[in-house]
Structure 1
Amino acid sequence: MEEVEVVVAHRERATLRVGEVFLKVDADRARTDVEVEAMGRVPIPTPPVLWRKPPVLALGAVPGVELGRLGEVSGASAAAWAAAGAAVRRLHDAPLPPWPGLGVDAVAARLDGECEWLLANDVLPAGLVAGNRRIAEVALRPWRPAFIHGDLQVAHVFVDGDEVTGVIDWSEAAPGDAHYDLATLTLGHPERLGEVLAGYGADADIDLDVIRAWWSLRSLLVIRWLAENGFDPASPGCEVDVLRSQLKGESGPGGGEQAVRGVE
């Protein structure tokens, strides 16, 4: 008899697995609408939609294994990381979805609010917040919108050998900054950025300082949400470690800054 596995559960949504079927329960129907619509538009592999009965969305499994996990060393090949970069480029070159995304002013306002919360609640040292906020501000500039995944964590990309077999969790898809997806994918894995960009394409107008800025910005933005929903951003190799590494002139465990500069 197949068992029910709780993949992830928090106050906003839950994902259950029964055999090869994933049941996503989300009280926010708009988020599910975006996920289904986005998967139907993107030119890269996604989970098949089996059925939908709000608030439940049933998806089929994608083959392969996760490209990696935050806080863990990825065992995926260089070719697999390059393939992920190529898939992200196909996504970013696709026609924009018709719904709006966050603009630079909205992101800046969120950054202000999260930094104030981190300091008011003594979550992080003031110097760590201020230093990373200074780095993060480099990302707050006008950008040419691309079709972005919006939450392209390394665990959301699945590979089989050197091929990408599927990208999951599309509820944050929207027009946005292409650098944000690239930064999210390589957060905590800076040594893999060169491989991702090799697959993404040398002709792309990618600014490494902006990717580094998004590493700080994303980490500052998500710490409160993670803490309030039962996750630990201070786990080894995760968001708090990323913030510390940024101020050391690195980009994460394993000599990040040298690895990043190596792709220039």
Structure 2
Amino acid sequence: MDEVKVVVAHSERATLRVGDVFLKVDADQARMDVEVEAMALAPVPTPKILWRKPPVLAIAAVPGAAIARLGEPSTTSSAEWAAAGAVIRKLHDAPLPPRPGRAGRGLDELTAELDGECEWLVTNGVLPAGLVTRNRQVAEAALRPWTPVFTHGDLQVSHVFVADNEVTGIIDWSEAGQGDALYDLATLMLGHEEHLGDVIAGYGADVDLDVIRAWWSLRSLLGVRWLVDHGFDPFAPGCEVDVLRSQM
């Protein structure tokens, strides 16, 4: 008999795995609506939806393995990183979904959130002021006008699965919607800068590397408090705090 494995669990949502079936439990049905809608619209490999009975969504496991893990060296081939870039480009070239996603927050909202998190990090002694100030300066390059595209919104390496030099599936679409293309690319490459050239080659378009690095700083600054509050460790080797230190 298959065991029940807790993949992730915190106050907002939980994901369980039983054999080749994932059960996603989410108290926010609007967020689940976004995920189901995005998977139906995205012209890229996504998990098969088996059934839905709120607050639970059952999806099938995708083949292959995650392209990498944050904080761990990647053993994935350059060809598979390039394949990820090509699939992301296909997503970004698709017709826009009907609503903004996490990567599509307005500049005023994003700037206010960033300034608030920076103040919290320093006031509470979580990170040195110099580290926060430097990364806030780097993050400024991401706060610029952009043309909206179909974005995944949470394209971290553990959400992209590959096998035999192909992308076999992209999971966790709850943050999808209209947004900044470079946010997706930066999220995928967070902590794995050594494969940035491979991804850009597969993506097949000019990419502003200063904006990519800016998103690394911005996403990491915004993420530290949430990660701590939800039982994760942003101080683990190769994770968000190391990314912030690398920007120095």
Q: Taking structure 1 as the reference length, what is the TM-score of the superposition?
A: 0.92
SS in 2 for 1:194: helix
Root-mean-square deviation over aligned CA pairs: 0.7
Find the counterpart in structure 2 of residue 256 from structure 1: none
Cα deviation code 1:201-253 (max 9, x no counterpart): 0xx24211000100100000110000001100000011000000011xxxxxx
Give the equivalent residue in structure 2 for 1:107.
110
State the alpha-carbon separation in 1 of the partners of residues 14 and 117 from structure 2: 24
Residue ranges of structure 1 left out of the alignment (5+ in a row)? 248-264
Aligned to 1:63: 63
> 1:37 deviation in Å?
0.1
Deviations, residues 175-218 of structure 1 (Å, cap 9, x unaligned): 111000000000000010000000000xx242110001001000
Write the distance in 1 (CA, Å) between the matches of 2:2 and 2:206.
Answer: 48
Q: Structure 1 counterpart of 2:237, which letter? A: P
Corresponding residue of 2:122: 119
- Within 5 Å, give how 1:49-198 maps onto structure 2: 49-100=49-100, 101-198=104-201
Q: In the alignment, which residue of structure 1 is the partner of 2:3?
A: 3
Look up the match of 1:211. Answer: 212
The residue type equivalent to 2:75 in the other structure is G
Q: Deviation of residue 172 (structure 1)?
A: 0.3
Which amino acid counterpart does residue 6 of structure 2 have in structure 1? V
Determine helix, strand or coil for the equivalent of 1:159. Answer: strand
Residues 67-97 of structure 1, C-alpha deviations (whole Å, 9 max, x = no match): 0000001110000000000000001001111
Q: Deviations over 1:98-122 (max 9, x none)?
A: 1124122221121111111111211
Aligned residue for 1:17, secondary structure, equals: strand
Distance 2:18 2:137 in 1: 45
Q: Does the Cα contact within 8 Å between 1:103 and 1:176 map onto a contact in 2?
A: no
Moved more, 105-114 or 39-48: 105-114
Q: Whole-Å Cα distance in 1 between the matches of residues 177 and 107 of structure 2? A: 14
1:260 corresponding residue in structure 2: none
Distance 1:205 1:104 in 2: 23
How many corresponding residue pairs?
Answer: 245
Point out where structure 2 has 5 or more consecutive residues left out of the alignment.
Answer: none
Deviation at 1:65, TM superposition (A): 0.3
Which deviates more from structure 2 when the two are superposed, residues 78-87 or residues 113-122? 113-122
Partner residue of 1:35? 35
Correspondence for 1:243: 244
Deviation for aligned residue 1:174: 1.2
SS in 1 for 2:69: coil
Other-structure match for 1:258:
none
Report the AA paired with residue 215 of structure 2.
Answer: W
Q: Which runs of 4+ in 1 moved over 4 A?
A: none
User: How far apart are the structure 1 equivalents of 2:226 and 2:128?
Assistant: 18
* 8 Å contact kept, 1:154–1:186: yes
Cα deviation per residue 1:99-154 (whole Å; 9 max; x = unaligned)?
12412222112111111111121100000000000000110000011111100001
**What amino acid is aligned across from residue 179 of structure 1 in structure 2?**
L
Q: Comparing 102-111 with 223-232, which one deviates more in the overlay?
A: 102-111
TM-score by length of 2: 0.97
